[in-house]
Amino acid sequence: MTPTPTKSDKAEGAVSDQRSRYGRQIEEAFEAASKLAGSNLSPADFYQQFLNRTLSAIDAPAGAVWLRTPQGFLQIACQVNLEKVGLETKRGGRQCHNEVLRQVFQAAPPRPMMLEPNGRLAPNQSGPAEAGAVPAANLTDFFTLYAPIVAPDKQAFGVLEVFQDPSHDARMYPTFLNYAFQMAGYASQYHQFSNARAASGVERTFAQIETFARLVHGTLNPTEVAYHVANEGRKLVECDRLCVGVRHARRRITVEAVSGADVVEKASTHVRRLRRLMETVLQWGEALTFKGAKDVGLPPDVSHALDEYLSESQPKLLVVQPIRDEREKDKHKPARSVLVLESFNPPEQIEPLIQRLDVVGKHAAPALYNAAELKRVPLKFLWWPIAKVQEGLGGKARFYTIGGAILLAILVAVMILVPYPLRMDAKGQMQPVEIVKIYAPREGQVRTIRVKPGDKLDKDFTVVELFDEKLQTEYQQLLSQRRDNEGTYKGATEALRRGNLRPEDIAQLTAKQDTAAETIKATTDMMRRLDREFNTSTQDLGLFRARVPDFDPRLKRPAGVSRWTVLNDDRLREVLLGRTVRPNEELMRVGNLEGTWQIELKVPQRNIGQIMRAFADPNQHKLENGRPYLEVDVMLRSMADTHYLGRLYKDEMGAEAVPNKNEHDENEPVVTAYVKLNLDTIPADKRIPESMFVTGLEVSTRIRCGDKALGYSLFHGVWEWFYEKVVFFF
């Protein structure tokens, strides 16, 4: 016979059924809480769903989630029926409740706690009470369960509070407390996952910003930089359109890029109104934010430009943000660049968009400034290819090394392969071709100088009169001898004419007459020879003359205009008058200035070898009527900015080197050579003006010795020194 269940057995069965039911509900709650902890819900949504699931699993009538604020206080995150538990019905109920929350939150280590209806925290639970403090008590008619929500560092940052009916079996409340503590653990997991997701999002954002910065700083082309800013910046800001403008001129803005557009049609109405809006905002100097309603305090220009642009485009959010680089020191000038953000369906909170726009602007400002400054640099088309080559070679050092090697190779090739005239330097003086030195016919004292410097003279003109006592004595002896013989001849002639003479007397007189006649003829011839040789004067015995010679009949000269010109200066009279001169001493010089001219060169002996090699090589010299010659560049000291042309014929060079007596600082022997000027075959523009023909005028010349390698022509002196001092030494 089956025993009848007692009342206690029925109660025990009811508790067992209750445990089983709540066990299943708790397991389902744990599974749901686990899914919620790993979800991407916002904190508000998570805690609302989390609290509802927590309360429904154990049929709790009310509950709340409290979280720590940044200031360190507890603030309610969500609640269910908290107003129905009676916190306000009893005096001090709210304060005692808050004190319980504080002590549970500050308990170390964090642990769950439970208070019976109208119960208080035991001293061992809350620690020593402060004097006069509000007691930590539950003044409601419900069991209160408290479970701390802890961070990974075991510090509480929230509290889960559950109000449970007191009608349950007393043995169930520890189970409920343990359940609340485990559910608080899932809330802790949600925060860990949320922090990890936030950290991952921050890292992703930082990676995007780093990629963005690398892109915008990777080029110096303003258009490329602007397109990177527009397209990549739009992704970071998460707006519908981002436009970039750059100020290249003083005021005018260029719309460089519009996100999503491959080409900016600068003539389109949309772009022109956008550019006008950018210009007015830059002149204003402040950011413009349009949220659907226009600010009445905008400047008139900005307001008008905004109205025009809004008639073309209708964004619900429009931000025009000038961006200024830190190198733009002049705050009175407009910023270099500007960003325009457009959103046609913006979120309720636009502050994150504006913050992200600021981040984009901080990275874009220096990149756009660098590109704009580079565009202002003149002659970029010259050095830009060089910069590209340098980049392709792998850096400045390698570029300089390779460039230097290439330039050196080109220089060596040019020095070897390019022909260039070899020129030998020499100095000289300008003088006429017909120049004559006048000497005294014999030794004598200068009595008279009959010319002045620059006088024009005909041939046989007497220029100097001299006196010689020996010539006077000789001439007097000849005159005396001739007079004596003339008397003898006349006496013999008279005696023969009278007749009555003996034959022997006639023969004697005839012989005397013949001897006298021969002596007279001899003395007369001697006197004529003296007159012809010394240009003597019968009026002043002992006086003789130096005369101008005749012109050389072999040289060409203008007919009827050639005359000798005295070339000496005024010192001639001071030096010669009263002085006794010898026949080998020069009295003066005369020249035919109307004839041809030449340069008397003093060619250093170190240059003679090159000149003679040029004459010996048929390819290095030229011919005129069979006469080899070299062309000579002539530069007058009085006209150093112009050079003329002359010719050096081989037969006009001296055969020996003589000491250079005119150059006191130069001991090297020189060879005298003559350069012909203003020949008929020389071009007219290369002839020296006749007004520059001045005897003794110093000139510098360079004798063209044929084409040689450019390096040898420029540095032949260095090579010859090296050969003489080094190669020849060994």
- Domain borders along the chain are 16-197, 217-377, 435-588, 596-727
Residue 409: predicted pLDDT: 94
The domain covering 217-377 belongs, at the CATH homologous superfamily level, to GAF domain (3.30.450.40)
Q: Which of 68-82, 352-366, 556-570, 572-586 has the highest mean pLDDT?
A: 352-366
pLDDT(388) > 80: no
Q: Is the pLDDT of residue 82 over 90?
A: no
Run of H or E residues at 703: strand 698-709
Q: Does the pLDDT at position 181 exceed 50?
A: yes
Confidence band, pLDDT 50/70/90 cuts, at residue 407: very high
pLDDT, tens digit (0-9, with 9 covering 90-100), for 281-328: 999 989 999 988 888 888 999 999 999 999 988 899 999 999 998 888
Whole-angstrom Cα distance, residue 443 to residue 446?
10
pLDDT number for residue 129 = 47
Mark out the alpha helices in 499-590 (DSSP H runs). 503-534, 571-576
Q: What angle do CA 103, 56, 125 make, to 5 degrees?
A: 20
Pick the residue with more confidence: 655 or 707?
Answer: 707
Please report which helix (H) or strand (E) contains residue 700, including its range: strand 698-709
Mean pLDDT of the chain: 83
Residues 648-688 pLDDT 10s? 998 888 878 777 765 555 567 889 899 988 888 888 888 88
Q: Any idea what DSSP says for residue 494?
A: H
Predicted confidence at residue 2, as pLDDT, reads 46
- What per-residue confidence (pLDDT) applies to 1? 44
Q: Whole-angstrom Cα distance, residue 93 to residue 118? A: 10
Whether the Cβ atoms of residue 245 and residue 215 lie closer than 8 Å to each other: no
Residue with structure tokens 């739009």? 234
pLDDT of residue 413: 93
Q: Give the model's confidence band at 272: pLDDT under 50 very low, under 70 low, under 90 confident, else very high.
A: very high
How far is 158 from 479, CA to CA, in rounded Å?
A: 161
Q: Could you give the C-alpha distances from 438 to 18, 454, 549, 595, in angstroms and in order?
A: 158, 15, 8, 19
| pLDDT, mean of residues 516-533 | 82
Cis peptide before 109 (omega within 30 of 0): yes
Weakest-pLDDT range from 131-140, 239-248, 516-525:
131-140
Q: How many CB atoms lie within 10 A of CB 393?
A: 15
Report residue 199's pLDDT band, with 50, 70 and 90 as the boundaries: low
Token couple for 435:
């120049």
| Same fold yes or no, 16-197 and 217-377 | yes
Distance of CA 587 to the CA centre of its chain: 68
Average pLDDT over residues 342-354: 87
Mean pLDDT over residues 405-432, rounded?
A: 91
Q: Which CATH number fits domain 16-197: 3.30.870.10, 3.30.365.10, 3.30.450.40, 3.30.70.580?
A: 3.30.450.40
- Average the pLDDT over 123-152 and give the result: 72
pTM (2 d.p.):
0.47
Please state which CATH class domain 596-727 belongs to.
Answer: mainly beta
> Is the predicted pLDDT of residue 125 greater than 70, yes or no?
no
CB 264 within 8 A of CB 246: no
Q: What are the tens digits of pLDDT across the range 277-287?
A: 999 999 998 99
**Where does the pLDDT of residue 637 fall: very low under 50, low under 70, confident under 90, or very high at 90 and above?**
confident
State percent of the chain over pLDDT 70.
Answer: 92
pLDDT of res. 70: 78
pLDDT single digits (tens) 28-65: 888 888 888 877 787 888 888 888 888 888 888 899 98
Which is more confident, 5 or 479?
479
What would the mean pLDDT of 489-505 be, rounded to a whole number?
Answer: 80
| pLDDT tens, position by position, 93-118 | 888 888 888 888 888 888 888 888 88
- Residue 39: which residues within 8 A CB-CB, separation 6 or more? 46, 190
Print burial letters for 85-120: b (CB count within 10 Å at least 16), e (below 16): bebeeeeebeebbebbbbbbbebeebebbbbebebb
**Angstrom distance (rounded) from CA 251 to CA 264:** 20
Q: Is the pLDDT of residue 410 over 90?
A: yes
The mean-pLDDT minimum among 9-13, 79-83, 179-183, 699-703 falls in 9-13
Q: Give me the percent of the chain exceeding a pLDDT of 90.
A: 14
